[in-house]
């Protein structure tokens, strides 16, 4: 009797019982798809690094057997170090070379996958003008080599610095910033430029300096170039501005060389800054200078007349 009471479920208890969800094939969809998936040589698989040592990398790519990537199949980059550049838990894509290495493992190659996948990424980096920080891995005729995404890239001597680099030897193993300027997947051609990055940095630094310049200021500069339409004047700190021909002298000029020559020191007034271009005026600078001279003269006269005559010098002096 007591046994029956123990097994008896009250109506209230029935309401608290949570019915179990009936399992369907949909619940095993991922497992089923994995079991039916056929992986063959040439396929690119993506998995997680589960082991790293000097000989290579072991990858779990969610299949019945792991993949093995030999150290020499990881990268073409001569500066690559498998122990420092690969971490457990990292995601890696690799190409299937063999489905069995004799020990039940898949044989993979990251180099082959990189060659296949990297070019699209490199093209995106080119479009976005991504700045790439890397190390020069080799010296070749008329340039240097730098690897990007495992792909061998070429930096011409003309694109290595702001000026043409005759001797590229000091650049070996040097870290530099560069952008991609040419991507040709068919020809396996990748070209970079460090010069473009340096130019952009120089422009940014120059623009910061220009932001500090105050319109209306009169400064001294040096004439650095004469053109038909005016003169370019260096006002210091690597900043130059244009004095339009109409702002050089009070009289009409047919060419700035009538009154100026390269190397002349001139006073200029900063009249306008637009789009980081500086407009200057010698005429207005002279007007400011002349006005200051007049004001100084006026202040002097206000304080008292100059004593020039002998009578003025002797006035007030009592002679015994």
Q: Which residue has the tokens 């004047």?
A: 233
Tokens of 191: 């070209």
Q: Which CATH superfamily groups domain 212-301?
A: Nucleic acid-binding proteins (2.40.50.140)
- Checking if the pLDDT of 28 tops 70, the result is no
- Checking if the pLDDT of 148 tops 80, the result is yes
pLDDT of residue 2: 46
Of 20-34, 52-66, 306-320, the one with minimum mean pLDDT is: 306-320
Tell me how crowded residue 274 is: count the other CB atoms within 10 A of its CB: 7
Give the model's confidence band at 281: pLDDT under 50 very low, under 70 low, under 90 confident, else very high. Answer: very high
One DSSP character per residue, 172-203 reads TT-EEEEEEEEEETTTTEEEEESHHHHHHHHH
What is the spatial distance between Cα 56 and Cα 72, in angstroms, rounded to a whole number?
Answer: 8
Q: What is the chain's alpha carbon radius of gyration, rounded to the nearest angstrom?
A: 39
One DSSP character per residue, 11-35 reads HHHHHHPPPPPPP-GGGGHHHHHHH
**Domains in the chain: boundaries:** 29-114, 129-199, 212-301
Give the model's confidence band at 284: pLDDT under 50 very low, under 70 low, under 90 confident, else very high. Answer: very high
Q: According to DSSP H, which parts of the chain are helical?
A: 2-7, 11-16, 29-36, 82-85, 110-128, 195-211, 282-303, 310-314
pLDDT of residue 13: 52
pLDDT of residue 112: 87
pLDDT tens, residue by residue, 77-101: 888 899 999 999 999 999 999 999 9
Give the model's confidence band at 122: pLDDT under 50 very low, under 70 low, under 90 confident, else very high. Answer: very high
- Checking if the pLDDT of 35 tops 80, the result is no
- Checking if the pLDDT of 144 tops 50, the result is yes
Read off the pLDDT of each residue in 5-16 and give the average, rounded to a whole number.
52
- Checking if the pLDDT of 51 tops 90, the result is yes
Q: Which residues contact 18 (CB under 8 A, 6 or more apart)?
A: none
pLDDT tens, residue by residue, 233-246: 999 998 999 999 99
If you classify domain 129-199 with CATH, what class do you get?
mainly beta
Would you tell me which CATH number, out of the four given (3.30.465.10, 2.40.50.140, 3.40.50.720, 3.40.50.2300), belongs to the domain 29-114? 2.40.50.140
Better pLDDT: 218 or 77:
218
What is the spatial distance between Cα 75 and Cα 113, in angstroms, rounded to a whole number?
Answer: 10
- Checking if the pLDDT of 163 tops 90, the result is yes
pLDDT of residue 313: 45
* 29-114 and 129-199 have identical folds: yes
Q: Which residues contact 266 (CB under 8 A, 6 or more apart)?
A: 220, 221, 222, 223, 233, 243, 260, 282, 285
- Checking if the pLDDT of 189 tops 70, the result is yes
pLDDT of residue 182: 97
Give the model's confidence band at 116: pLDDT under 50 very low, under 70 low, under 90 confident, else very high. Answer: confident
Tell me how crowded residue 79 is: count the other CB atoms within 10 A of its CB: 14
pLDDT of residue 33: 54
Q: Which residues contact 283 (CB under 8 A, 6 or more apart)?
A: 247, 248, 249, 250
pLDDT of residue 11: 54
Q: Which residues contact 100 (CB under 8 A, 6 or more apart)?
A: 106, 107
Closest CA to 143 of 172, 103, 105: 172
């Amino acid at each position: 009797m007591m046994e029956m009471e123990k097994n008896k479920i009250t109506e209230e208890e029935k309401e608290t019982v949570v019915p179990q969800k009936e399992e369907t094939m949909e619940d095993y969809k991922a497992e089923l798809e994995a079991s039916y998936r056929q992986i063959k040589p040439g396929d690119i698989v993506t998995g997680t690094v589960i082991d790293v040592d000097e000989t290579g990398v072991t990858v779990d790519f969610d299949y019945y057997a792991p993949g093995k990537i030999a150290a020499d199949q990881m990268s073409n980059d001569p500066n690559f170090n498998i122990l420092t550049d690969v971490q457990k838990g990292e995601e890696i894509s690799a190409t299937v070379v063999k489905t069995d290495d004799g020990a039940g493992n898949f044989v993979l190659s990251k180099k082959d996958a990189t060659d296949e996948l990297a070019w699209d990424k490199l093209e995106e980096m080119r479009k976005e003008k991504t700045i790439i920080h890397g190390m020069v891995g080799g010296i070749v005729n008329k340039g240097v080599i730098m690897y990007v995404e495992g792909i061998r890239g070429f930096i011409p001597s003309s694109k290595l610095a702001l000026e043409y680099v005759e001797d590229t030897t000091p650049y070996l193993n040097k870290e530099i910033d560069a952008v991609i300027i040419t991507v040709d997947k068919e020809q396996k051609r990748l070209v970079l430029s460090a010069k473009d990055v340096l130019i952009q940095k120089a422009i940014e630094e120059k623009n910061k300096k220009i932001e500090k310049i105050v319109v209306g200021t009169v400064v001294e500069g040096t004439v650095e170039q004469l053109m038909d339409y005016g003169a370019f004047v260096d006002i210091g700190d690597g900043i130059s501005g244009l004095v339009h021909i109409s702002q050089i002298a009070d009289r009409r000029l047919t060419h700035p060389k009538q009154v100026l020559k390269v190397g002349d020191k001139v006073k200029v007034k900063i009249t306008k800054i637009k789009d980081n271009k500086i407009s200057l005026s010698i005429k207005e600078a002279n007007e400011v200078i002349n006005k200051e001279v007049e004001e100084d003269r006026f202040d002097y006269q206000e304080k008292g007349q100059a004593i020039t005559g002998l009578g003025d010098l002797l006035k007030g002096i009592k002679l015994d």
